[in-house]
């Protein structure tokens, strides 16, 4: 195993509140607006979408970030530390909190019996998907990791997205070429496909291929992209596959939650909390 110094370097915690004090500060900044403005609007939006209006679980969302432990523990994949060290060596930083990342790769690893591909809807700078590709190489899985993003940030938001605005998460110019160069350095170039553009455009092209997924990571933060990702990826997820929704319990992402609940409404499936804002479902049969 590499030194802890190297492993710490791979985590860039400037994108989230990393300490209890920072979390407290963030809660005080976001809490009043969340409870007094965003939640009442969210409950009205549930009515607009014909969903049961009351949703008790959202009351706890601001407290979830304080939980250091995941809500559900999947064992992390073998060689996880080695994969992190390889990312650090390639100069890649992970912007997701460590407990959420470990829960995510653990969920991916739990699908290893399912012979299908991986899709990430919302890749930003690509670090999470590259980590899964490296883990796949180390474990010799036969999987392609599909990475989808505008790479120019969040597109137009809808009336359901009260906590997000267009242009958040703009990747630096040349991000696709940078991801491809990083994939070369990590020897996973043949394990990834980068799809730049709106999900709707990419899905139109991917529809022509008979793709099936073992693992789906939906991380779009807003209603429209999350809705489109559910519509495309969930029916193509193999039995036993897992879908992780990064934003289901996010304080700023009530639009994404609406899209997921809207999509799952005709079923009895309810996402289970995973770690922090994330939640997951296991696909029992083709939807
Ligand atoms: C939080 S970021 C993803 C973070 C990434 N998964 C990670 O772990 O670093 C959300 C991304 O979703 C993308 N996105 C949202 N809606 C989209 C859409 N309709 N089409 C393409 N990309 C979209 C944004 O451009 C943004 O980069």
Residue 110 has pLDDT above 90, yes or no: yes
Does any ligand 1 atom lie closer than 6 A to the CB of residue 122? Answer: yes
pLDDT digits (tens, 9 = 90+) for 220-260: 999 999 999 999 999 999 999 999 999 999 999 999 999 99
Residue 20 has pLDDT above 90, yes or no: no
pLDDT at 203: 98
pLDDT at 15: 63
- Which distant-in-sequence residues (6+ apart) come within 8 Å of 88 by Cβ? 2, 6, 7, 9, 10
- Which distant-in-sequence residues (6+ apart) come within 8 Å of 261 by Cβ? 46, 49, 51, 55
Does any ligand 1 atom lie closer than 6 A to the CB of residue 222? Answer: yes
pLDDT at 82: 96
Does any ligand 1 atom lie closer than 6 A to the CB of residue 153? Answer: yes
Q: Provide the percentage of residues in the chain whose pLDDT is more than 90.
A: 81
User: At 7, is the pLDDT very low, low, confident or very high (cuts 50, 70, 90)?
Assistant: low
- Longest pairwise C-alpha distance within the chain: 52
Does any ligand 1 atom lie closer than 6 A to the CB of residue 219? Answer: yes
Does any ligand 1 atom lie closer than 6 A to the CB of residue 80? Answer: no
- More confident call, 121 vs 65: 121
Q: Residue 51 gets which letter from DSSP?
A: -
Does any ligand 1 atom lie closer than 6 A to the CB of residue 203? Answer: no
Q: Say if residues 182 and 126 touch (Cβ distance below 8 Å).
A: yes
Comparing 5-9, 47-51, 137-141, 170-174, which segment has the lowest mean pLDDT?
5-9
Does any ligand 1 atom lie closer than 6 A to the CB of residue 245? Answer: no
pLDDT at 286: 55
Among protein residues, the one whose CA lies closest to atom 25 of ligand 1 = 153
Give the distance (Å) from ligand 1 centre to CA of residue 166.
11
pLDDT at 14: 67
Comparing 20-29, 169-178, 257-266, which segment has the lowest mean pLDDT?
20-29
- From the list 84, 81, 58, the residue with the least C-alpha distance to 279 is 58
User: At 53, is the pLDDT very low, low, confident or very high (cuts 50, 70, 90)?
Assistant: very high
pLDDT at 17: 65
Specify the residue for token string 């060290």. 85
Q: What token pair was written down for 262?
A: 């809207």
pLDDT digits (tens, 9 = 90+) for 128-145: 999 999 999 999 999 999
Intra-chain end-to-end CA distance of the chain, in Å:
41
Integer-rounded Cα Rg, in Å, for the chain is 18
Q: DSSP states of 88-153 as a string? A: HHTT--B-S-HHHHHHHHHHHHTTTTS--EEEEE--TTSHHHHHHHHHHHHTT----EEEEE-SS-
Q: Which among 145, 225, 244, 275 is the best mutation to test ligand 1's pocket, defined by most ligand atoms within 8 Å of the CB?
A: 225
Among protein residues, the one whose CA lies closest to atom 17 of ligand 1 = 225
Does any ligand 1 atom lie closer than 6 A to the CB of residue 199? Answer: yes
Query: What's the CA gap between 110 and 241, in Å, rounded?
Result: 9
Q: Say if residues 2 and 85 touch (Cβ distance below 8 Å).
A: yes
User: At 6, is the pLDDT very low, low, confident or very high (cuts 50, 70, 90)?
Assistant: low
Distances (CA, A) of 29 to 8, 16, 79: 28, 13, 39
pLDDT at 70: 87
- More confident call, 22 vs 190: 190
For 282, counting Cβ atoms within 10 Å of its Cβ (0-12 exposed, 13-18 middle, 19+ buried), the class is middle
For the chain, the average pLDDT equals 92
Q: Which among 12, 124, 165, 244 is the best mutation to test ligand 1's pocket, defined by most ligand atoms within 8 Å of the CB?
A: 124
């Amino acid at each position: 195993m590499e030194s802890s110094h190297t492993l710490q370097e791979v985590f860039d915690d400037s994108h989230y509140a990393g300490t209890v004090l920072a979390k407290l500060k963030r809660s005080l900044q976001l809490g009043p607006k969340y409870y007094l403005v965003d939640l009442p609007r969210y409950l009205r939006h549930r009515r607009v979408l014909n969903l049961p209006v009351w949703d008790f679980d959202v009351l706890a969302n601001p407290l979830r970030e304080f939980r250091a432990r995941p809500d559900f523990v999947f064992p992390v994949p073998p060689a996880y530390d080695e994969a992190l060290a390889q990312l650090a060596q390639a100069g890649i930083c992970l912007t997701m909190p460590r407990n959420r990342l470990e829960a995510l790769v653990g969920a991916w690893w739990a699908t290893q019996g399912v012979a299908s591909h991986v899709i990430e809807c919302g890749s930003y700078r690509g670090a999470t998907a590259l980590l899964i590709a490296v883990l796949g190489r180390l474990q010799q899985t036969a999987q392609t990791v599909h990475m989808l993003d505008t790479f120019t940030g969040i597109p137009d938001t809808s009336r359901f997205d009260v906590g997000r605005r267009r242009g958040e998460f703009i990747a630096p110019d040349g991000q696709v070429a940078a991801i491809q160069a990083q994939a070369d350095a990590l020897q996973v170039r043949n394990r990834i496909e980068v799809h730049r553009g709106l999900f709707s455009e990419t899905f139109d092209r991917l529809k022509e291929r008979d793709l099936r997924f073992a693992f789906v990571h939906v991380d779009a933060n807003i209603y429209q992209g999350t809705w489109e990702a559910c519509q495309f990826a969930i029916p193509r997820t193999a039995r036993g596959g897992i879908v992780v929704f990064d934003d289901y319990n996010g304080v700023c992402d009530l639009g994404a939650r609406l899209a997921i609940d809207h999509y799952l409404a005709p079923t009895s499936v309810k996402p289970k909390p995973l770690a922090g804002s994330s939640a997951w479902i296991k696909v029992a049969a083709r939807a």
